[in-house]
Structure 1
Amino acid sequence: MKKKIKIILKKDHLNIGQKGKITNISPGYAFNYLIPNNIAEIATKNKIKHITMFKNIKNQEIKAYENTSKILQSNLEKIKKINIRKKVGKNNNIFGSINEKDITNKILKYIGISIDKKQIKVDNIKKIGIFNININILHNIQYSIQLNITPENI
């Protein structure tokens, strides 16, 4: 019977697994290839405890992020449309353009929650009209809001 040793992967490896995985490997493979190439390290009791602690912290952060995103989604559902008033020039063109910062400021004003501008996807808007904007709440959840650009009365 072959004796195997426990190792912790420092990098993703095609045959063994992803970074942070604890697995049993033959000693020759570990000492001759994985450890010298800085792909893995020997798993001690403290290192295993350390990795499980970091995995638990990461899972808690993911759960907290999911909870805040659910709150954000429920608050965004209260907003049906966003109105922005801009000065108008010729051919219904507005001065400047509408960007993510304008929209995040309006959402902050309406619901009191700050959204990262990276979560908002806006095309280049330079005219008066009605547009749809997409807000990426989570990596798989998107929310669409109607954006009304109206002329400012002078």
Structure 2
Amino acid sequence: MKVILEQDVPRLGKKGEVVNVNDGYARNYLLPRKLARVATASSLKEVENRRRREAEKEARAAQEAKELAQRLAGRTVTIAARAGEGGRLFGSITNQDVATAVEKELGLTVDKRRVEMKEPLKALGSYTVTLRLYTEVTADITVNVVGA
């Protein structure tokens, strides 16, 4: 019997997948617990339409990320921080600081988890920071850390 999973079921599949199971398993376990519903022609079309909409949404998000990457590529952000002798900062510049500076100076909202730095910036100077905008879309920006 073909069923459409309403929830993730271990060792069977994820929500929205169409799977083939034994009739008894469907009737006695999956259907009463509302883990699945019977796959009729109309429900299969509905699942296919949902998948198509999700794929279109995914493609739109990827395209928007690519456009944002093009706008960000090569841009420079300046962050002022207190520094001691030899250009060492009191504290450090974290990914949160970079995300805030990008939003303030460039007007683009970037989540701090999308800012990739090997380690926090601890000295004055110019650094290249990668922004991961989507799964395979990145943009490199320059962060200038200047004394305050």
Instruction: Give the structure-2-normalised TM-score.
Output: 0.74
Q: Highest Rg: 1 or 2?
A: 1
1:21 equivalenced with 2:21 (yes/no): no
CA distance in 2, matches of 1:88, 1:103: 17
Gaps of 5+ in 1: none
User: Secondary structure in 1 aligned to 2:129?
Assistant: strand
Checking the alignment, whether the CA contact within 8 Å between 1:121 and 1:134 is kept in structure 2 is: yes
After superposition, what is the alpha-carbon deviation per residue over 1:44-103, rounded to whole angstroms, capped at 9, x for unaligned?
455445434433332232122112101111111241x43323232244232443233432
**SS of the residue 1:19 aligns to:** coil
| Deviation string, structure 1 residues 109-143 (Cα, Å, up to 9, x no partner) | 55432212221123222321333322111112333
- Give identity over the alignment, percent: 25
Specify the SS of the correspondent of 1:114: coil
1:146 corresponds to 2:139: no
TM-score (norm 1): 0.72
Match of 1:74 among 70, 81, 102: 70
Letter in structure 2 aligned against 1:6: K
Over the aligned positions, Cα root-mean-square deviation in angstroms equals 2.8
Q: What does residue 136 of structure 1 align with?
A: 132
Alignment of 1:1-154 (within 5 A): 5-10=1-6, 11-14=8-11, 16-36=12-32, 39-44=35-40, 47-79=43-75, 81-122=76-117, 123-152=119-148
Q: Which has the higher contact order (CA 8 A, sep 6+)?
A: 2
